[in-house]
Amino acid sequence: MLRAMEEQAPEMIRTLAEGCARFVKQAVGVELDGTPDTLPILDHYLAMAREEDGEEVLGLVATSAGAYFGEVVRRVAGGRWVLADEADASSWRLEMEHVFLSFDPVGVAREAITEQDEEGWNAHLEVLEQDRRVIAQALENTGDVSEDDYYRLAIRWEVIEQALAVLEAAAQARGEADKRYGPEVYQRVLGGRAPSLPH
């Protein structure tokens, strides 16, 4: 599933992701290397951040951790960042190009910190209507995840990885393996609609 991406992330995202790596290095003494293997380390850091009070801390940590998480996904699975409003991280999302799947990595990070659904942050996976049933079944067949693990970034990556595999197989079965989903397709399908699938 490794997909080389010629397009770089926006500078703001790169800066935030680099900041996240610095925060983690200072807090736990381990370097993040931009791979999914480092997500449990980031989960540990977010558990520490959970102890901090205040929306300001939550906002800073979630935004930088979300940028890092999104970059891990983008580098491994492909995709592009869409920052509808640079000042409002709840309007950001990562869009895959080879299949139709998007979500807001910052929303995912917020939920990892608060350990609850964050309304309006679009942490859920958004897929096409035709793929909702097959994705829901695949995720259901995976079995239950403990409450302690449900919001962890490492688990979210596994869910995204599985969803991508299912969507790729479905596209292959429909003879659409070479189809690409540009920004205009996402805009047309999503518009202002809220995400439709559970994590």
pLDDT tens by residue, 95-106: 999 999 999 999
| Residue 2 belongs to some domain of the structure | no
For residue 194, pLDDT over 70 is answered with no
Distance CA 181, CA 100 (A): 6
- How far is 198 from 95, CA to CA, in rounded Å? 17
Sequence-ordered list of residues with C-beta below 8 angstroms from that of 27, at least 6 positions apart, any chain: 45, 48
* Count of structural domains, the chain: 1
Within 13 Å and on the Cβ side, how many CA atoms surround 189?
17
pLDDT exceeds 80 at position 199: no
Q: Is residue 197 part of a domain?
A: no
Tell me what pLDDT residue 191 has: 79
* pLDDT, position 79: 93
Domain assignment present for residue 5? The answer is no
- CA pair distance 153, 132, nearest whole angstrom: 22
User: 142-152: per-residue pLDDT in tens?
Assistant: 767 777 788 99
Asked, for residue 186, whether it belongs to a domain, the answer is: yes
Q: How far apart are CA 136 and CA 123, in angstroms?
A: 16
What token pair was written down for 167? Answer: 């969507």
Do 90 and 121 meet the contact criterion of CB atoms below 8 Å apart?
yes
**Statement: residue 70 has pLDDT above 70:** yes
pLDDT at 1 > cutoff 50: no
Q: Is residue 195 part of a domain?
A: no
Residue 199 covered by a domain: no
- Would you place residue 63 in the very low, low, confident or very high pLDDT band (cuts 50, 70, 90)? very high
Residue 72 lies in a domain: yes
**Is the pLDDT at 195 greater than 50, yes or no?**
no
Instruction: Using alpha carbons, list the distances in angstroms from residue 111 to 29, 56, 78, 98, 182.
Output: 24, 15, 23, 27, 28
- Least reliable range by pLDDT among 133-142, 143-152, 158-167: 143-152
75 vs 8, 85, 113, 133, 147, CA distance in Å?
A: 9, 23, 23, 27, 28
Owning domain of residue 87: 11-190
Residue 128 belongs to some domain of the structure: yes
Helices (H) and strands (E) in the chain, counts: 7, 4
pLDDT for position 33: 95
Q: C-alpha distances in angstroms, 95 versus 7, 67, 70, 98, 136?
A: 13, 14, 10, 9, 19
What's the average model confidence in pLDDT over 43-65? Answer: 87
The answer to whether 105 and 69 are in contact (CB under 8 A) is yes
Helix axis angle, 129-141 to 153-173, nearest 10°: 130
